[in-house]
Each structure stands twice: as structure tokens, then as C-alpha cells.
Amino acid sequence: MQRGLTGTARLVAGIDSSTQSTKVVVCDADTGQVLRQGQAPHPDGTEVDPAAWWNALQNACAAGLLDGVGALAVGAQQHGMVLLDDTRQVVRPALLWNDVRSAAAGRDLVGELGGEGAWIEAVGSLPVASFTVTKLRWTAEHEPAVARRAQSVLLPHDWLTSRLLPSNADLVTDRGDASGTGYWSAAREEYRPDLLERAFGRVLDTPRVLGPDEAAGETATGVLVAAGTGDNMAAALGLGAGPGDLVVSVGTSGTAFAAHDQPVSDASGAVAGFADATGRYLPLVATLNAARVLVATARMLGTDLTGLDELALRAAPGAGGLVLLPYLDGERTPDLPHATGTLAGLTRTSMTPENVARAAVEGMLCGLADAVDALRRQGIDPRRLLLTGGGARSRAVQALAPALLGVPVVVPEPAEYVARGAARQAAWVLDGGAAPPDWAVPVAAVGQPGDEAGGRRVREAYAEVRERSHPS
């Protein structure tokens, strides 16, 4: 039975509120075909007034983009901290996932609870700088006046969902995004108020966690609003990732994740034990350095990304002995928020533009290959790897990925998969079915692992530089 829909419209919308922009797609609810789309930029930075997200959403939906839409959902960047007062007004700019000022707070929280194992047992993940719980501790310690005003804590997608609903509607979230806070357990499906109190000094109000097919409510015009979710969970839903699928996204950050039937508890802390947007789980490894490594290297070499591809593909595997440890913005996995990059193996013969370009692509992919290995150690056995994100369009990335990642690689047709996943969730809630609608995702095969011995040599050289620079 359809809910919240009048007339004969069969349109749904998905919103992707990312670090850099808002993207909106309007899809056919039955097939997933994108019929209309809009986009608007966000301000740069690691803290942003949430009003900028709302303004961007209004701009992206201008000129009747949402006309005829029966349901919508929001997928947004994970982990960000939005604090509200007792009148639901924002009390400070949101701290985003890529703000590392709370790194020391994360280390303090780990020690106070009894070590890494205690946190992983509690919520399935380590509280690194990106997680909301560490940002709460930083705020309590450094901005006590702000902390005193705070009554509720939301994630970016929660806040946008609340803006779409009447002002007296319940504050809600979903299990996928909640699992990235550091105070909600995916394994136990519950908040840990004791961890909130430990981080902030008192317990804040938290949004109610909806099931994957539950509605958050309706807009003032009667459009059904689904629960929404975090960006990685929405991307998995948009890609239709199922058992045997491993997703590696080469975007602003790098991520490797897989749909899984059981919660994951990684004693090393590398794999975050997230929930997904379907009622299952989404073990995930995130890196800070992905496509921006390629952009920065291209700029250094005085070229663009197409030129970088051409240079990298002219160099031999191993880049003449050059190895780039690509921690240009610090790193999240491994947890080295203040690390810098390293270019090792410089000689007069190796120091060519071609080798530097190749080392950038190899180094970025080796970081993601480490992430894939961490997932394998948790029982993930991938049969294929879906390579997504802006960096996945690179010819050099596509050429090198199979050997370095060690899995047959396919590249889905370019699309806004976070927004598409949010739209698919909206269609699920609209129809009230037992599962999300089956939307096809065209993919192109890139290749088999191929030169596995060569890939191993590149990864061994990378591991040697990584251990020498940052001993474990």
C-alpha cells in the first residue's frame, strides 16, 4: 500500500548533503531512473553553519525540482556534530568528520574507558577524531559556554530531516548513521548514554533511531520523509551492494566497505563496526587521503587529472623505486591525524614526472588495499569490487586497481549513488514493501587481478616505507 502519496505520481527524491555540496536526484520509484537533478555548493572548511546546508538544499531544488515527488530521504556526511539548545536552535557551527581538533580527546576517551578493546566491545568502533563522541569531548573542554547551552546532539542528516518536518516533529535518525557516533552500538541496537556522559559531562537528548523502512513523517505539503542515513550507507543502498560485493570509494576520503549479515568487532580498531541502511551491517574502513592525493600531485606536476593519468601509465610498475606514503591531510586509518606525506626512493633516475605520478596512484591505492585486507581479516570474502567515487574515473586508477587490490574490479556507471541510495530508501518507505525496490546498476568490467606478483612487490615496498615512517 502506498503511503503519503496523492494522485498518480511515482516520483521519489534522494538528497546527498556531502562535505562539498548538496546534490538532489528525482527518480522513477519503480525503476530508479534519474529524471531530474540539481546541485548547489557548500562552504569550504571543517566547521560549517548547518544553515548553509539548508540554503544549498533550497537552491538545489529550485525551479520545481521536487514537483510531483511523493517521498524523499536525506543521505549526508557521517559523524558531524550539530548541537541544539532547548528551542532547537543551533548553538555553534557543526564540526565535520574531517575536523581533527578532537584527536587528543579521542585518545583520552580510549584511555579512560580502559583501552581500545573496551570501546570496540561497547560500540564496535574506536573513537577517532572523526567520530561525534570525540567532538563532544572537545566542545565540553574548550567551549564550556557552548556546552552549557546544548540540549540535543544530531548528525547532519538528522538535522536536515528535522528541517523538512514540522517544527514539533520528533528528532529522528537511523541505525546506519547512529552507528558512526561512538555512542550507539550496532551490535546491541542501543544508545550508550554512559559514553555520552563520559564524553560531555552529562547526557544530551539524542534522536530516536528509526528502522530502515520507517517514515520520519511528512513535510508540510504531504511529502513522505524516510529515515535517511549516512553517506556510506546510502551509497551501498544506491549501488545495490549485496553479499560478496566489496565497495571501494575514491572520493574526498577513501572508503572500503561491504554488506554483512553479522556485526563486526575488530580488535585492531581499523574496521568500524557500522550498521547499514537495510537492517544488516556495513563494516567499513575509511582513509582521509584518496582522490585529493591525485589532485595535489597533478597540481604539483603542472597538469590536470587527465595529464596525471597519461604520466602514470607511461611509468613502469613500482615507479622506478619511488613510494608515496600519501598522508597529506594526516590519516584516519591508521590513526595518525597529524602525520604528513612521505616520498621515498628519490634518485636522479627515479625523479621523473612519470614516476611521481605513478607513485601517487600506487600509494593512494596501497592505502585502500590495506583497508581491503583489514576487511578480509573480519571474514569478508569479496567476489568482486565495485570501484566508485570521482577518482574511479581515472584511467590510471582503473588500470592499477585490480593488481593492487587483489579482487576482480568493476566500475558502476557514473551516478550520484549517495543521492540514489537515499531515493531508493524513499521508494521503499513509499511502497511499504519488505525490501527496497530492485533498481538495476549498470557496471563495466575493468579487469582481473592480473600481475599479482607485481602488485605484491609494490605493496611490500609501500609497507616498508609505512613501517619505517610510522612504526606500529
Express each pLDDT in 82-104 by its tens digit. 999 999 999 999 999 989 899 99
pLDDT over 80 at 2, yes or no: no
174: nearest Cα among 24, 280, 325: 280
CB 273 within 8 A of CB 283: yes
Distance from the Cα of residue 92 to its chain's centroid: 23
| Amino acid letter for position 165 | L
Tell whether 39 and 168 lie within a shared domain: yes
Tell me the pLDDT tens digit for each residue of 21-63: 999 999 999 999 999 999 999 999 999 999 999 999 999 999 9
Q: Which cell numbers hold the place of 41? A: 555548493
* Average confidence (pLDDT) over 369-377: 95
Instruction: Give me the pLDDT at residue 251, please.
Output: 87
Residue 172 and residue 78 share a domain:
yes
pLDDT tens-digit readout, 213-261: 999 999 999 999 999 999 999 999 999 998 889 999 998 889 999 999 9
Residue 1 belongs to some domain of the structure: no
User: In this predicted structure, what is the pLDDT of residue 448?
Assistant: 77
pLDDT at 11: 98
Active-site entry in 231, 266, 329, 335: 231
pLDDT at residue 153 tops 80: yes
Residue 41 in domain: yes
Residue 231 annotated to the active site: yes
Task: Using the predicted structure, report yes or no on whether residue 5 has a pLDDT greater than 80.
Answer: no
Q: In b/e form, how buried is each residue of 242-260, taking b as 16+ CB within 10 angstroms?
A: eeebbbbbbbbbbbbbbbb
Q: Please give the Cα distance from 305 to 7 (Å, whole number).
A: 47
pLDDT of 381-428, one tens digit each? 999 999 998 899 999 999 999 999 999 999 999 899 999 999 999 999
Same domain, 265 and 214: no
Residues with Cβ within 8 Å of 304's Cβ and at least 6 positions away in sequence, in order, are 298
Supply the pLDDT for residue 461. 97
Are 55 and 41 within 8 A, CB to CB?
Answer: no
* Domain co-membership, 151 together with 72: yes
Question: Is residue 415 a part of any domain in this protein?
Answer: no
**Exposed/middle/buried for 7, CB within 10 Å: 0-12, 13-18, 19+?**
exposed
- Please compute the mean of the pLDDT values over residues 275-280 and round it to a whole number: 96
Q: Closest Cα to residue 126, out of 5, 264, 252?
A: 264
Q: 39 forms bridges with which residues in the sheet? A: 23
| d(C-alpha 373, C-alpha 178), whole Å | 25
Q: Identify the domain containing residue 24 by its residue range.
A: 11-231
- Which residues, in sequence order, are bridge partners of residue 81? 95
- Judge whether 257 lies within some domain: yes
Share of the chain above pLDDT 70, in %: 98
Alpha helices in 250-340 (DSSP H): 291-300, 305-314
Q: Across all residues in the chain, what is the average pLDDT?
A: 94
Do 359 and 454 lie in one domain? The reply is yes
In CATH, what number is assigned to the domain containing residue 123? 3.30.420.40
Distance between CA atoms of residues 137 and 470, nearest Å: 27
201 plus 317 within the same structural domain: no
Q: Quick check: 377 and 347 in contact, CB under 8 A?
A: no
- Does one domain contain both 176 and 257? no
Q: What mean pLDDT do residues 126-133 have?
A: 94
Q: What's the mean pLDDT in 344-362?
A: 97
Average confidence (pLDDT) over 445-455: 81
- Give yes or no: residues 167 and 274 share one domain: no
| pLDDT of residue 6 exceeding 70 | no
Cβ distance 30 to 16 under 8 Å?
A: no
- Say whether both 313 and 387 belong to one domain: yes
Domain boundary among 199, 231, 263: 231
Strands 281-287 and 272-275: antiparallel
> Is residue 109 one of the residues assigned to a domain?
yes
Is 69 domain-assigned?
Answer: yes
Q: Is 169 helix (H, G, I), strand (E, B) or coil?
A: coil
Last residue of a domain, one of 207, 231, 255: 231
First to last CA, the chain: 55
Residues 308 and 369 placed together within one structural domain of the fold: yes
| Interacting residues of 467 by C-beta distance below 8 A, sequence separation 6+ | none
Q: Is residue 60 part of a domain?
A: yes
Same domain, 206 and 64: yes
Q: How many domains does the chain have?
A: 2
Statement: residue 4 has pLDDT above 50: no
Helix axes 291-300, 353-376, angle to 10 degrees: 170
Residue where a domain stops, chosen among 231, 258, 292:
231
Highest mean pLDDT (candidates 200-209, 280-289, 446-455): 200-209
Question: In terms of domains, do 78 and 222 share one?
Answer: yes
Contact 412, 441 (CB under 8 A): yes
Taking CA 151 as the corner, what is the angle to CA 149 and CA 156, rounded to the nearest 5 degrees? 105
- Which pLDDT does position 252 carry in this prediction? 80
252 domain residue, yes or no: yes
Please report the DSSP string for 83-103 in residue order: EE-TTS-B-SPEEPTT--TTH
* Residue 316 buriedness (CB in 10 A; 0-12 / 13-18 / 19+): exposed
Whether residue 319 has pLDDT greater than 50: yes
User: At a CB cut-off of 8 Å and minimum separation 6, what does 211 contact?
Assistant: 174, 175, 227, 279
